């Protein structure tokens, strides 16, 4: 098989390697599409993410679609859940396997991900894909699951108001899900005009650059409406966190989804304390979120394909990462078997 490995920050190389051998309970997957995520961008630019650093050349990619090559499901198109929890610890038994301390995650640490033509993965983590979802779109189901989990943390209900601070792919998926839930208004901010234009097309009712009239007092003073019920930071930037906290109502919920480059987040404690906010940090998605994401896309409630702005074969993965690093478009998809 062919595989792309990250050897050091900015050092992506294509390799010819032996085909993987599925272990007990696993199937061999022919990988058809892999979405590149903000976390892959951290790995590529910094050679690390948070407190995890490269210890060996790593195959990145955790947003994966493919075709089963072995067993009774041979030929079935699937979306891959990249999180493999132990299943036995207290967190797993409580339904919080995404927080399992023994969890293996594709494309993270020492666990190879999807940027290769073949991968072996547990069959229980392979979700069947309906014909209505194309392979490149299916690579965005995992980030949609991330958005669904974040919205659950925010306890959003129809008729509430919300804000999304950072309109990369996760932020734009948040906007789409909020719109589908009947949330209004939906405020969205981002420094890049092309992202704001897409946010508007996907359901945001108010858009602007970071810091542009989104604070609680600004909204009231300028007649934009009351403070927001729930806010979602999806930029990994302290400025976005500050804007989110400034915009939410007293007693509201602020969900931090973005991953900061320096592994540190800060904000003005006085504002958050005065409002008595509930501040939550969202990690990945939960096991039920992938089937939920598939159902939403199949029902036409979320459009994944419109987020894809670049598609590359595996041998052009370095170009895909350059595109990702410069944030020129929206979502980058690599097609290892294309």
Neighbour-count burial of 109, counting CB atoms closer than 10 A to its CB (0-12 exposed, 13-18 middle, 19+ buried): middle
How far is Cα 171 from Cα 166, in angstroms, rounded to an integer?
A: 6
Tokens of 318: 């370095």
How far is Cα 297 from Cα 304, in angstroms, rounded to an integer?
A: 8
Inter-residue contact 54 to 47 (CB < 8 Å):
yes
Closest CA to 256 of 144, 156, 194, 171: 171
Structure confidence at residue 221 (pLDDT) = 41
Per-residue pLDDT tens, the chain, 338 aa: give them: 999 999 998 899 999 999 999 999 999 999 999 999 888 888 888 888 877 888 899 999 999 999 999 999 999 999 999 999 999 999 999 999 899 999 999 999 899 999 999 999 999 999 999 999 999 999 999 999 999 999 999 999 999 999 999 999 999 999 999 999 999 999 999 999 999 999 999 999 999 888 765 555 555 444 456 789 999 999 988 999 999 999 999 999 999 999 887 788 988 899 999 999 999 999 999 989 999 999 999 999 999 999 999 999 999 998 998 888 777 779 999 999 86
Structure confidence at residue 262 (pLDDT) = 79
Structure confidence at residue 51 (pLDDT) = 79
Pairing of strands 26-36, 63-68: antiparallel
Inter-residue contact 120 to 69 (CB < 8 Å):
no
Inter-residue contact 66 to 29 (CB < 8 Å):
yes
Neighbour-count burial of 319, counting CB atoms closer than 10 A to its CB (0-12 exposed, 13-18 middle, 19+ buried): middle
Any alpha helices (H) in the chain, and if so which ranges? Answer: 38-46, 90-93, 135-138, 141-153, 169-180, 193-201, 216-221, 238-247, 269-275, 289-298, 317-326
* Domain limits, the chain: 2-140+304-335, 144-281
How far is Cα 155 from Cα 275, in angstroms, rounded to an integer?
A: 17
Rg (CA), the chain: 20
Greatest extent of the chain over all pairs of C-alpha atoms, in Å: 64
Structure confidence at residue 163 (pLDDT) = 95
Tokens of 81: 């859940």
Structure confidence at residue 328 (pLDDT) = 76
Tell me the CATH class for 2-140+304-335. alpha beta
How far is Cα 142 from Cα 106, in angstroms, rounded to an integer?
A: 12
DSSP 226: S
Inter-residue contact 47 to 30 (CB < 8 Å):
no
Structure confidence at residue 49 (pLDDT) = 80
CATH hierarchy code of domain 144-281: 3.40.50.720
Q: What sign has the CA pseudo-torsion 62, 137, 177, 193?
A: positive
Burial 264-302 (b: 16+ CB within 10 A, else e): ebebeeeebeebebbbbebbbbbbebbebbbebbeeeeb
């Amino acid at each position: 098989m062919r595989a792309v490995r990250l050897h050091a920050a900015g050092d992506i190389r294509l390799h010819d390697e032996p085909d993987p051998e599925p272990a007990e309970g696993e199937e061999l997957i022919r990988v058809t599409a892999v979405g590149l995520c903000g976390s892959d961008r951290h790995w590529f630019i910094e050679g690390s993410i948070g407190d995890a650093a490269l210890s060996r050349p790593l195959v990145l990619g955790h947003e994966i679609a493919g075709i089963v090559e072995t067993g009774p499901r041979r030929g079935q198109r699937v979306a891959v859940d990249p999180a493999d929890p132990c299943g036995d610890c207290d967190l797993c038994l409580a339904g919080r396997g995404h927080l399992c301390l023994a969890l293996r995650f594709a494309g993270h640490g020492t666990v190879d991900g999807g940027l290769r033509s073949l991968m072996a993965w547990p069959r229980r983590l392979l979700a069947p894909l309906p014909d209505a979802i194309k392979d490149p779109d299916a690579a965005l189901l995992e980030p949609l699951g991330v958005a669904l989990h974040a919205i659950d943390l925010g306890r959003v209900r129809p008729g509430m108001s919300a804000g999304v601070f950072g309109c990369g792919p996760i932020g734009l998926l948040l906007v789409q899900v909020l719109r589908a839930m009947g949330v209004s208004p939906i405020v969205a901010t981002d420094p890049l005009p092309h992202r704001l234009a897409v946010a508007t097309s996907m359901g945001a009712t108010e858009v602007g650059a970071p810091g542009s009239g989104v604070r609680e007092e600004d909204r009231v003073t300028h007649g934009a409406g009351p403070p927001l019920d729930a806010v979602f930071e999806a930029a990994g930037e302290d400025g976005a966190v500050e804007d989110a906290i400034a915009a939410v109502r007293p007693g509201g919920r602020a969900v931090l989804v973005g991953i900061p480059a320096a592994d540190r987040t800060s904000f003005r404690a006085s504002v958050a304390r005065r409002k008595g906010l509930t501040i939550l940090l969202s990690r990945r998605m939960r096991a039920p979120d992938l089937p939920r994401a598939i159902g939403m896309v199949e029902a036409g409630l979320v459009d994944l394909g419109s987020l894809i702005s670049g598609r590359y074969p595996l041998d052009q993965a370095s170009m895909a990462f350059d595109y990702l690093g410069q944030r020129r478009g929206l979502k980058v998809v690599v097609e290892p078997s294309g």
